[in-house]
Structure 1
Amino acid sequence: MDAIVQVLNLNTTLVAQVFNFIMLLIFLRVVVYPHIVRILENRQEFIANNVAAAEEDRKQAEALRQQYLDELQKAKNEAQSIIQKAGKVAEEQAHEIIEAAKAESNRIKESALQDINREKEKAVAELRDQVATLSILVAGKIVSEKMTADIQRSMIDEFIKEAGDLPC
């Protein structure tokens, strides 16, 4: 080897360094490199698992989000249904109240009309009595003592009949 070194005019230190470098590369290749490759593969597998777990978590989160959105929409629909039912019930109650008020007003109106008719009949009867009394007094003065009870009664009936035909 010394001959090669002298022929090529190489420095022995340089040759020793190249030899040491090659030995180091072989040592690294045999001893260290497999461990480094295994560590890198483990790291790559760990990262891939983390990415897969993150993707799975994202899918679960999206599924939960969709489930919450569905439940929220269902709750909104139920609320809308309840509001519509309440509106219908309120309309029905309002209609029932209006019908009851109409029935009550009709009953009050009928009662008032009946009261008016009774009072009218009562007033007409009182008026007839007063007219009959006045008629008897007037007739008594006119006829004086010559009038009998039968004549008086027939005159009263005739007067009441004529008074009854008059519009009141």
Structure 2
Amino acid sequence: MGAVVQALGLNNTLVAQVFNFIVLLIFLRIVVYPHIVRILEERQNYIEKNVSAAEEERKQAESLRQQYLAEMQKAKDEARDLIQKASKAGEDQAREIIEAAKAEANRVKESALQDINREKEKAVAELRDQVATLSILVAGKVVSEKITADIQRNMIDEFIKEAGDLPC
């Protein structure tokens, strides 16, 4: 090999360096590169896993968002239904209260009319009794006295006066 090295005009140091470089490359290829390739593959797998996990989490987040929006819409619909039911119940209750008040007013009115009619009949009966009593008194006075124009006039005035004092 020495003759080849001298024929090419290379010195021994350069040949030793080239030989060492080739041995180093072989050593690196056999011992170091597999570890570096394995570490790079692990790193690539880790990154792919993180990307796929992030994509899955994004899908889950979107799913949860859609579910949340659906639940919010459902809650709004339920709230609207409750408000409508409460409003309808309030209107129904108000209508029932008004009807009950009208019925009570009619009952009170009828009762008052009956009381008025009773009192009216009672007053008419009392008036008849008083008129009858006065008629009897007048008839008794007429029978016991001789009626002159002045006496008749006085009796009529007295009768009108007594009838005017009666409560109606």
TM-score in same-fold range (> 0.5): yes
* Structure 1 SS opposite 2:82: helix
- Corresponding position: 1:135 with 2:151: no
Residue 21 of structure 2 is matched in structure 1 by: 21
Superposed displacement of residue 6, structure 1: 6.0
Distance in 2 between the 1:21 and 1:87 partners?
Answer: 93
**Equivalent pairs, count:** 147
Provide, for residues 35-92 of structure 1, a one-character-per-residue CA deviation record: whole Å limited to 9, x for no partner.
Answer: 3112211221122022112211221122122212212221221122112111101110
Paired residue type of 1:38: R
Q: Runs of 4 or more off by more than 4 Å in structure 1? A: 1-11
Greater relative CO (CA pairs within 8 A, separation 6+):
2
Report matched runs for 1:12-161 at 5 Å. 12-144=12-144
Distance in 2 between the 1:13 and 1:123 partners?
Answer: 155
TM-score scaled by structure 1? 0.75
Distance in 1 between the 2:41 and 2:134 partners?
Answer: 136
Distance in 2 between the 1:14 and 1:73 partners?
Answer: 82
Distance in 2 between the 1:53 and 1:106 partners?
Answer: 78
TM-score scaled by structure 2? 0.75
Superposed displacement of residue 29, structure 1: 2.1
* Identical-residue share of aligned pairs (%): 80
Superposed displacement of residue 21, structure 1: 1.9
Residue 159 of structure 1 is matched in structure 2 by: none
Distance in 1 between the 2:88 and 2:103 partners?
Answer: 22
Distance in 1 between the 2:84 and 2:11 partners?
Answer: 101
Distance in 1 between the 2:31 and 2:125 partners?
Answer: 139
Distance in 2 between the 1:111 and 1:20 partners?
Answer: 130
Distance in 2 between the 1:89 and 1:33 partners?
Answer: 82
Provide, for residues 9-56 of structure 1, a one-character-per-residue CA deviation record: whole Å limited to 9, x for no partner.
Answer: 655434422331232123212332133112211221122022112211
Distance in 2 between the 1:44 and 1:31 partners?
Answer: 21
Superposed displacement of residue 127, structure 1: 0.8
User: Unaligned regions of 5+ residues in structure 2, if any?
Assistant: 147-167
Distance in 2 between the 1:67 and 1:116 partners?
Answer: 72
Distance in 2 between the 1:131 and 1:11 partners?
Answer: 171
